[in-house]
């Protein structure tokens, strides 16, 4: 049996995905949702709060809860799979594989992975689309010693992040976030005007055996927001 708050979340996602509730649409109050679904106000509040944390809704003090602008939102507090984030918003994820091959390690990737310059690494490049709109260009370098079967994977069906979590469970990660000007080729792949700035996340991930991958994740500034939710415990 599905919990009431999950039923409320599912219903809200469906209304947004089907276009019944567009951007900035004001949602019913917690009391109205509680009455509609036969639950407590706290249950309705939990459903809304979780959708706010996922970036699907926004809250304005004294005004209510609204459908958020349709931008991709990533978290700097956790490593999450972009396909999962898109599906949680009730949208469709699709990936286009641009490159998957072994390459000699250039200095930047070699240093990031702890390899010698010129040593073989695996490289993949993908464009991730949300409802057919490009939202992330993923350029990833992988340590072959830790992920020997990387080049044999169907990454249009399963993201590199999903696969790496299965074969080399992540223990830690490091992020570097910066605003960048995209190249002409990056503009083409992300369907951007040449003047649009982008947000780039450089990410190194470790498993218990060492550095697994180094990725550059490029996002259009107009289609991406970066946020996080931090729980603070009082002493």
Q: For each of the domains in the chain, give its residue range(s) and CATH number, in order of start.
A: 4-67 (1.10.10.10), 72-227 (3.40.1410.10)
The candidate with the shortest Cα–Cα distance to 206, out of 146, 133, 118, is 146
The whole-model pTM stands at 0.67
The candidate with the shortest Cα–Cα distance to 33, out of 21, 25, 41, 23, is 41
Q: DSSP label at 223?
A: G
Distance, CA of 219 to CA of 206 (rounded, Å)? 23
Measured CA to CA in angstroms, residue 82 lies from 8, 46, 199, 222, 233 at distances of 23, 23, 15, 17, 29
Residue by residue, pLDDT tens for the chain (235 residues) are 778 888 998 898 888 767 788 878 899 999 999 999 999 999 999 999 888 876 678 887 778 898 876 554 455 445 678 888 888 888 899 999 999 999 999 988 888 888 888 999 999 999 999 999 999 999 999 999 999 999 999 999 999 999 999 999 887 888 888 888 999 999 999 999 877 889 998 898 888 788 899 999 999 987 766 655 444 443 3
């Amino acid at each position: 049996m599905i919990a009431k708050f999950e039923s409320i979340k599912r219903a809200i996602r469906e209304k947004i995905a089907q276009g019944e509730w567009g951007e900035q649409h004001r949602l019913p109050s917690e009391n109205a949702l509680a009455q509609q679904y036969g639950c407590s106000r706290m249950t309705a509040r939990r459903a809304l709060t979780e959708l706010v944390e996922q970036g699907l809704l926004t809250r304005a003090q004294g005004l209510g809860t609204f459908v958020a602008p349709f931008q991709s939102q990533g978290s700097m507090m956790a490593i999450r799979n972009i396909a999962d984030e898109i599906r949680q918003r009730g949208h469709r994820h699709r990936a286009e594989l641009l490159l998957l091959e072994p390459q000699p390690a250039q200095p930047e990737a070699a240093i990031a992975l702890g390899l010698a310059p010129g040593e073989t690494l695996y490289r993949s490049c993908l464009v991730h689309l949300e409802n057919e709109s490009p939202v992330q260009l993923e350029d990833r370098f992988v340590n072959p010693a830790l992920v020997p079967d990387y080049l044999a994977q169907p990454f249009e069906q399963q993201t590199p992040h999903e696969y790496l979590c299965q074969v080399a469970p992540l223990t830690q990660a490091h992020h570097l976030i910066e605003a960048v000007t995209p190249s002409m080729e990056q503009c083409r792949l992300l369907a951007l005007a040449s003047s649009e700035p982008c947000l780039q996340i450089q990410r190194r991930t470790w498993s218990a055996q060492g550095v697994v991958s180094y990725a550059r994740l490029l996002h259009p500034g107009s289609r991406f927001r970066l946020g996080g939710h931090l729980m603070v415990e009082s002493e």
